[in-house]
Amino acid sequence: MTARDRGKGRDPAKGKGRGTGLGSVAGQVFALEALIALLVIVAAVLVTFFQARSDTERDARIRSLAVAEAFAHAPGIDAALTSPDPTAALQSRAEATRKSTGVDFIAVLSPSGVRYTDSRPELIGQKATGDLSRATVEGQAYTELFRGAPNDAVRAVVPVVDDKGRIVGLVSSGIEVESISHAVQGRLPLLIGVAGGALAAAVGGAALVSRRLRRQTHGLGPAEMTRMKEHHEAVLHAVREGVLIVDADHRLLLANDEARRLLGLTAEAEARHVSELGLDPRTVELLESGRSATDEVHRAGDRLLAVSVRPTLTHGSESGCVMTMRDTTELAAVTGRAAVARGRLQLLYEAGVRIGTTLEVVRTAEELAEVAVPRFADFATVELLEPVLRGEEPPEGAAASAEMRRTALSGLRPDQPLQPVGDTVHFDVRNTPMAKALGAGHAVVEPVLAAAEGWRAQDPEGAAQALAYGMHSLLTVPLLARGVILGMANFWRADTPEPFGEEDLSFAEELAARAAVAIDNARRFTREHAMAVTLQRSLLPRVLPEQSAVEVAYRYLPAKAGVGGDWFDVIPLPGARVALVVGDVVGHGLHAAATMGRLRTAVHNFSTLDVPPEELLGHLDELTGRIENGDTEGAAGEARRRDEGITGATCLYAIYDPASGLCQVASAGHPGPALVGPDGRVEFPELSPGLPLGLGLGDVPFESTELWLPEGSKLVLFTDGLLEDHGRDIDTGLGLLRSTLSRADRSPEQTCADVLATLLSPTPRDDIALLVAQTRLLDRNRIAEWEVPRDPSAVSPVRNAAAAKLSEWGLDGLAFTAELILSELITNAVRYGADPVRVRLLHDRTLICEVSDGSSTSPHLRHAAATDEGGRGLYLVAQYAERWGTRYARRGKTIWAELRVGADGSEPVAMVVPDLDALEDLAW
């Protein structure tokens, strides 16, 4: 990088956390220069100060001595000293001299030191302090620094000598120390000002030096500069990757040792333009273009270099670049093989993802063929044993594998000469590649098909067509799972010129092994799925019973992923009523289907008790709990329950009465029904949801909801598999169901078809049970009811009225049997029951006789002895009626009996029946 580039570039210290303080080299140089300047200036000030003080003191000595000598040698001084009053003669003269010379004092002393004159008159006559012997004894003139009274001073003492050489007095002159100090202090402001100016100039110079140094060092500290030096040395000499640094003018700034070796650069290469370095033209163009590059292959002599280029500055248009390079000549030889190996690994990964996406044997074989073409082979075929296709266990032994069914075929072109899918493929010739692979249990390669005598002998005409088409190489591999042969895969090459080689065997075997596991899983699932479907269909109703209450249509669809436990049922009940049931066992598999069958049988059995829906669900909940607990005893049962996900069951039970149009519905954790009115209006009645069956929460009672259904209404019962599916929640499903059911004037069969067409996905993940029941009402003319007083005499009139109603209905042939049954039932109700007593006749497919009373006591059938007078009433009812039973309500009971319409009413053989009036006197 040039100085111009560095000047225009952004300061590296900014934004990189490099400060300008004492941590940087520039900061430390600045601090050191400032400190040195300060110390020098302080020392200079101190030296100057003390020098000035010394000079002032020396000047004071000279002046004091000069003044004292001049005064001592002045004319008339010696005479004045010997005069009677020296003070009067000399005081004024001494004071005038002091003022004119600028000294602080002039004192004339006697030889003994007594003051004759002084600048302070109060001291006259006092003896001067200090040692004056040098002047009085030795006659010397001298100066000294006097410290004592009255003030410290620099004084000079000069003896006064008369004409005879005698010392007649002394003259002392001087300047006080305080005056000297004041003189020196007067120079301090100037001295400090000069020192401050010098300090400012020194600091400013240091700052300029520091700034320039900071710009040149980019604010780096000593440790960073040391590291940069180490890095620089490492890049230059130790890094095994070539590095070139080029400035914005495309001149070489730096080349490390590896770059010099790879490019053949000399020591004089630096500072030269890249076009003058003898580089490959493509490399020069890359360096001059200013673009970035990653692992581009460039030639340098006989070397192939992987070159990467990046700009040195991320911002700014004028930027140099850094080029790194590494020698890939040695890797070029293995690049092809590495690419092939990498492609094979990628293909194996894709095979693990793409093969076995469904649990269908045929589709899994097709996925194997599709994965292999075109990245491994030009054509691929998969042949499977017939039992495998059916989901059965494959036969053991290679002899049983001599005949297979072609299941999948994939190729680059559709006009291939191979046998089509569905054909039987034989391996009769033992030295064919296929037979060898099956016998050995591993892959076999035939690089040159034209030389494969066994393959040509197996099917000469087909082999000739394949060779003419261009098939030239074959690799065949058996599909093995658990050591058993399921089939085989054949890979062919026609358009690819390279034949299969030994290095392809391991890949083909790995690919086949993965596919074989997926095929075996699909086979097992196919077998279990078929068994579960067979079991479930055998447990579901094949033909709906005949009844007149509702017109019914239904659909049942097993899930693709595994049969579940959904079921439905239509159960005729006494009194022309019908029970509609739909349920769902949670889980999938054979166990769920078996549990469903047991629950459906239980519902049939409990329905014979003719109890309300909530009571039936209570019995069913208790039974489900016992089933689950009994099936999961021990570790094996718990593991099966955990694996199959069985955690209970749900059930919806509804009883519809066509005589009244009322429907009682109770739910055990199951979605409620949809109610479609005759006008097409769709409702989802609010039900007490209840808890699923078998959760061990039997202490929570179930509740029934009573609905009134107009004639022509549709009651739609379904399992949750209809609503919930891939990417669709239950609310969305309910919305689709509502819109589909809102189309009026459709039969239950059409309704089922429309619902499945709208809500069914191609691959449902759960079973679907759908039951559509369109309601009917009994003609009121076919219903007869009477209130019976609790008086034995009231039996006969009711019996006669019933006979008349039967005659009106054209059922005269049943009159005697009906009168007999009614006599027995009414007499029992009058004698042993409680008010109110009612009788009802219903003319439906059968004649239904019902006698209700307010008592909950139930009669029971018994055989009377030959000597008993009574006890034969119910026995007669059981003999003459098609069936009979007792139904309990919230208060009281109803005893009913059904007579087949069209029967002649003949009495049972060997049965002697007294007259009907006599029967009224018999006890049960």
Residue 263 to residue 773: CA distance in whole angstroms: 90
- The values of phi and psi at residue 104, to 5°, are -80, -30
Show the tokens assigned to 694: 């078998």
3-class secondary-structure state, position 94: helix
CA triple 585-590-593, angle to 5 deg: 35
Which pLDDT belongs to residue 862? Answer: 56
The answer to whether 796 and 806 are in contact (CB under 8 A) is: no
Instruction: Compute the average pLDDT of residues 359-381.
Output: 91
* Residue 474 burial class via C-beta count within 10 angstroms: exposed 0-12, middle 13-18, buried 19 and up: buried
Cite the beta strand spans of 337-429 per DSSP E: 379-384, 403-411, 424-426
Please indicate whether residue 563 or residue 226 has the higher confidence score (pLDDT): 226
Question: The whole model's pTM is what?
Answer: 0.54
Size of the chain in residues = 924
Is 50 exceeded by the pLDDT of residue 910?
no
- The burial class, CB within 10 Å (0-12 / 13-18 / 19+), for 790 is middle
Residue 118 has pLDDT above 90, yes or no: no
pLDDT tens digits for 716-753?
A: 999 988 888 767 788 888 999 999 999 878 999 999 99
Q: What is the mean pLDDT of the chain?
A: 81
Task: Identify the pLDDT of residue 187.
Answer: 67
Which of 59-63, 390-394, 493-497 is most confident? 493-497
Confirm if 376 and 507 have CB atoms less than 8 A apart. Answer: yes
At 613, give phi and psi (nearest 5°).
-55, -40
Percent of the chain with pLDDT over 70: 85
| Phi, psi angles (nearest 5°) of residue 573 | -120, 160
Nearest 10 degrees: Cα torsion 276, 278, 280, 281: 30
Q: Rounded to an integer, what distance in angstroms lies between the CA atom of residue 501 and that of residue 729?
A: 53
pLDDT > 90: percent of the chain:
23
pLDDT band at residue 677 using 50, 70 and 90 as cut-offs: very high
pLDDT score recorded for residue 909: 36
- Give the pLDDT confidence score for residue 17 in this predicted structure: 43
Does the N-terminal peptide bond of residue 374 adopt cis geometry, omega within 30 degrees of 0?
A: yes
Strand, coil or helix: what is 602? helix
* H or E, element range at 145: strand 142-146
Residue 182: is its pLDDT beyond 80?
A: no
What is the pLDDT, as a whole number, of residue 849?
A: 92
823-878, pLDDT tens digit by residue? 888 888 888 888 899 999 999 888 999 999 988 877 665 554 444 444 556 777 87
Under the phi-then-psi rule, with left for phi > 0, alpha for psi from -120 to 50, and beta for the rest, what region is 541?
A: beta
Lowest mean pLDDT among 120-124, 308-312, 545-549: 120-124
The sheet with strand 564-572 has its strands ordered as: 564-572, 578-588, 649-657, 662-668, 704-708
Give residue 903's pLDDT band: very low, low, confident or very high (50, 70, 90): very low
Compare 22 and 124 and report the one with higher pLDDT.
Answer: 124
Q: Are 875 and 848 in contact (CB under 8 A)?
A: no
Cβ pair 247, 239 in contact under 8 A: no
Is the pLDDT score of 630 beyond 80?
Answer: no
CA distance 155 to 63: 9
Please give the single-letter amino acid code of residue 449: L
